Structure 1
């Protein structure tokens, strides 16, 4: 059973992004075992809509896509009337901020250093800070041992993966002992590497924090009411595999409730993400060992989504690498909303900016996008459409050399080759 679940997570990129542990099984009808090629192909066929008259919302798909098809969004820099880059950027970012409805989070939080030590050639700090709501945010900071002076910084975003029990541990290693679920996670999606450690070793100060609502920021069962919503779960035995898998399934099913509650509160999940990630960026920039003129950000999947919103809005991010999260709103409408988290969507924004144009708001700052050609979470045609959109934005701004998009064979991942290309991009623009 464990192998079947592992293979199913591989097939879906672990990202039904909130659905991989539960919702996608209702699409596929059963857990998928890769050893059964016929079953695998059937599952993939169900996940990718080939019929132009069909969609994940049936016959309504063609009509819904038509609402945004065949016209440029109102604030697209590709429109002829936008000739002043700075003026366009100011107006478009203002509208994006309005759509995100970012909640007030106060000033820069006070950071507590809980522990410091060395591991695998890195100086590691276990940090925490308190935002105005929820439990304290836990974070990991990594940099080379005995580093001198100011180093370029990287804000490293962990993935979603349908695994809300973990956060920073998905992309870091702080000892030789890994939780078995995280060893499996890093093996499948990062080719057995903790990529935050790997980029830190190249001479960066790297900050990884738990996102809302993951790990230290996750929803605790004892706080959920009514009790019937807990499905009999408690916060006991927290590190057992059985408890974690049950919690992740619960958190997947709970995601629509969280999203609807946030919308009802007058904010968006993407807005909460950005607000909290901006606090982490503030903390990174305030460190005396960080060169604030040379900071990058990067992440796979849900971390790629966070990269899009952060890098698109904050010019302190001088270099950005978005991994495994680039397509168009059209792809979500017709094909792929079933694969993705509620965290992605910003009401009304598709009328004003296509999804890649959010990242394009950072033009002419250096930007890299890394795509997997067999990524189950997007259609290849729409990944290429997103690539074309970003290329047009950068060309119009006279910054063609600062945008790069690479394609790699295989499913949803951030493997050694992709990591090497990402880190080389950082070296070029943050150290060059």
Structure 2
């Protein structure tokens, strides 16, 4: 079963970011049911000297081993924290090739209503390219005064048809695939709702290219549509077909973005930065107390955003922390094209992207049986982050935990994350 599942993941491109469990695969209707690939598989492969790129693995890994990366704060040459952070962030942004999205767009409030003790707003705004971005804001009903804000990042999950709905709930009835998704990865919870109830204004927007920002079949050449169309979009079977197609389309999108002089992470960062502008510009948000977080693809976006924007006072990365070496020799096949920034591994270890925010509060939550990463490399990433925060004299501003089980953000992990947000964002 495991080999069949791996063949499917590699063929469709749905392996990336949150596809580890069997429930969502069953929901997508595109693969046989199986248990999660054991995290030990990657470690065994590495121990035996076998890599996912064959005999080239040890050589490729050697390119990023040995000397510390050029902009690593762990190097002896970097002793001025503020100076290092400025130079390293500038190089980070340069490598990303982040496009300029211009001024903050006008925000339209599409709907306002109450649900489950929360006031909910459905928003939209138009960026310089693509369809309008859909977003949801949640806050406690009847709350007074500016509240701390949270930028909530939805996951990837091999499911581009859905975005903000993956971590929110706005009615008793849910789409059956969303109900499955909540159960598979969040122990049945819509975590954005739960943190909002604790006294936060939470903004969740659709990332590029998910949900409202997804690529429509009618907008690509017919020979690339695989015989599909955009009709009856909420039909579960059509969603499965679309997600299958979108997974296969990822390499086309990535190569086109590289050819345009930018990267997929750059678009994530640029659009999330715009969402942060919108969140911080709200009258009901205290812009001095803002955090971000998310699982999997949302954890990856937390790394990119948390490392770059000093307005993020507290960041919680869930289910997306490892090393470049892990991706070189063992796990790149389990990840989307959205992960990679050419040349950056020469200059920053992967954990050090998030470490650019030191000494601001940072939490990393891992799962010990997460099939997307090798456990030893998750532990090495924790060591790297710990060294960065220790050198900065801010060891108590960093916390990392390893939870039992596969790729997820369950109730126990949510409780730990929410307490961390409360510690740093509430008076």
Category of TM-score, reference length = shorter chain: over 0.9
Question: Equivalent residue of 1:139, what SS?
Answer: strand
1:261-306 CA deviation, whole Å, 9 max, x = no partner?
0000000000010000000000000000000000000000000000
Query: What CA RMSD, in Å, does the superposition of the two structures yield over aligned residues?
Result: 2.2
1:56-79 CA deviation, whole Å, 9 max, x = no partner?
101100000000112200000000
1:155-205 CA deviation, whole Å, 9 max, x = no partner?
000000000000000000000010000000000100000000000000000
Question: Equivalent residue of 1:208, what SS?
Answer: strand
Instruction: Give the TM-score taking structure 2 as reference length.
Output: 0.93
Equivalent residue runs for 1:222-261 within 5 Å: 222-225=218-221, 227-261=222-256
Gaps of 5+ in 2: none
State the match for 1:106 in structure 2. 102
State the match for 2:294 in structure 1. 299
Question: Equivalent residue of 1:92, what SS?
Answer: helix
2:40 & 2:77 partners in 1: Cα distance? 42
Q: Which moved more, 1:42-51 or 1:72-81?
A: 42-51
State the match for 1:273 in structure 2. 268
Instruction: Give the TM-score taking structure 1 as reference length.
Output: 0.92
Q: Does 1:314 align with 2:309?
A: yes
Q: Give the Å deviation of 1:53.
A: 1.9
Gaps of 5+ in 1: none
Q: Does 1:120 align with 2:116?
A: yes
1:268 & 1:19 partners in 2: Cα distance? 22
1:228 & 1:142 partners in 2: Cα distance? 41
Aligned match of 1:388 in 380, 383, 386?
Answer: 383
Aligned match of 1:179 in 167, 175, 179?
Answer: 175
**Is the contact between residue 42 and residue 373 of structure 2 (CA under 8 Å) also seen in structure 1?**
no
Q: Give the Å deviation of 1:33.
A: 2.9
1:199-248 CA deviation, whole Å, 9 max, x = no partner?
000000000000000000000000001x1110000000100011000000
Q: Give the Å deviation of 1:32.
A: 4.3
Q: Give the Å deviation of 1:376.
A: 0.3
2:47 & 2:316 partners in 1: Cα distance? 33
Q: 1:66 to 1:292 in 2, by over 3 A?
A: same
2:247 & 2:44 partners in 1: Cα distance? 22
Q: Does 1:398 align with 2:393?
A: yes
Q: Does 1:286 align with 2:285?
A: no
State the match for 1:77 in structure 2. 73
1:326 & 1:294 partners in 2: Cα distance? 24
1:158 & 1:76 partners in 2: Cα distance? 29
